[in-house]
Each structure stands twice: as C-alpha cells, then as structure tokens.
Chains A and B, each alone.
Chain A
Amino acid sequence: KAGVTQTPRYLIKTRGQQVTLSCSPISGHRSVSWYQQTPGQGLQFLFEYFSETQRNKGNFPGRFSGRQFSNSRSEMNVSTLELGDSALYLCASSLPSGREETQYFGPGTRLLVL
C-alpha cells in the first residue's frame, strides 16, 4: 500500500506570496493532519480534517488554512507569507477506526520564505 505523499517536496517563495501544499493520504485513510516543524518551535499542530470537515485546529493565524476533498486528499494554504513561515510542513493520515488512531507521516514539504 502506498504511503502518504506530499507535493511539492521543496518550495522557495518570497514574503507576501501565498503557497499551496498538497497531501494524499494512505488509501482508505479519512483523516489528514498537518504539522509545522521548525528548529525553534519544534513540531506544532496546524489542523486536522476528517471527512472534508475541519475537526481540530491548532493555534496558528488565519493566514493558515486548509481543506479536504471527497477523496480525502488535503491541501494547506498559507497566504501573505512571512519569513517565520519557513519550515518543514508534515502531513499525516490515519483511519481512524475503532481504537486505531496511529498517524502515518508523509516526507514533508520544505518551505523557504525569502
């Protein structure tokens, strides 16, 4: 079974631009979560989508948004990029079903904001 895929793998943008990142979950998984990883703040939760609905949201400004499609693929959008948005963005998928809650991660998208 194919793992979680994320595109693009690398991005360079300038301040003020916007960016869209994509995540395709493991086949059959219905939940997609997004995390931001930076050296200073570590791993922080952005949001989670389940069956096309945002189920959980982290403490990030409104410039960070996401959505999920009917095939469970998810996109994350960051508008008006700031230098501090440079990070590794990780997407994780999970079933969830019964007590199976394990999140499996994609390879990440490295975003550099200049």
Chain B
Amino acid sequence: AQTVTQSQPEMSVQEAETVTLSCTYDTSESDYYLFWYKQPPSRQMILVIRQEAYKQQNATENRFSVNFQKAAKSFSLKISDSQLGDAAMYFCAYNRRADKLIFGTGTRLQVFP
C-alpha cells in the first residue's frame, strides 16, 4: 500500500528566509503524481505545487519549488522569501491516475516577523 510520511510536525521560519518541508513516500508504481497542499486556519485546502513522477524537472511556482528525488522517494517543498501569509498546515499528497489522494500527517509552519 502507498504511504506518505511527513516527519516534521512543526517548523518555523523568519519572514524573508527560506524553509524546506520534507516528505517521503512509498509506492511500487512508476507513474504517479505528488502534491503539496496548504491549509490555513480557514481550513480551505489550497494547491501549492504539483509534480508528475515521469517528469525529471522539479516543479516551481513562484516562491515555491520542490526537490523531487524519485529513486529516494523524496519530495520536499522549499519556500523562499517566506511571508506571514505562508503560515499554515502543509500536506504532502500522492496519487495514481484516477485514484484517491493519500495524505501525509502534515507540517505546521509558523512564520515569525
């Protein structure tokens, strides 16, 4: 069975600094998708970034980028120039095509001014 592990329950970063959130996953599939979702106090789950496993190039969305290591089954999220609005729970998620999302337990990110 596929699993997603986020080993950092909480992280903190100073405004304008860079922080990296870790995620590892386990699967025997070769074709799958990985995601980072952000859940602020409003509880709305917001897509941050998406990676297709067959693409070797790491995805980037403005200040957010990933380090996708397929062989190591690692998918970390780097947030550059952190802002107060980045404070939220961050969930790493995995799925195969036409299948459910499997989530990690989340990392709570605090951003200090």
Count residues of B near A (Cβ-Cβ below 8 Å).
22
From A42, A88, A96, A104, give the contact of B43 (CB < 8 A).
Answer: A88
Interface assignment of B75: CB less than 8 Å from any CB of chain A = no
Chain B contacts for A90, CB-based, 8 A: 45
A101 and B100: CB pair below 8 A? no
From B47, B99, B103, give the contact of A43 (CB < 8 A).
Answer: B103
Chain B contacts for A56, CB-based, 8 A: 98-100
A55-B98 contact, Cβ under 8 Å, with A43-B91, A102-B50: yes
Interface assignment of B46: CB less than 8 Å from any CB of chain A = yes
From B33, B43, B105, give the contact of A108 (CB < 8 A).
Answer: B43
Binding site secondary structure of chain A = strand
A107 to B46, CA, bound (A): 9
A108 to B50, CA, bound (A): 21
Interchain nearest-CB distance for B12 vs A (Å)? 21
Chain A contacts for B33, CB-based, 8 A: 101-102
A33 and B101: CB pair below 8 A? yes
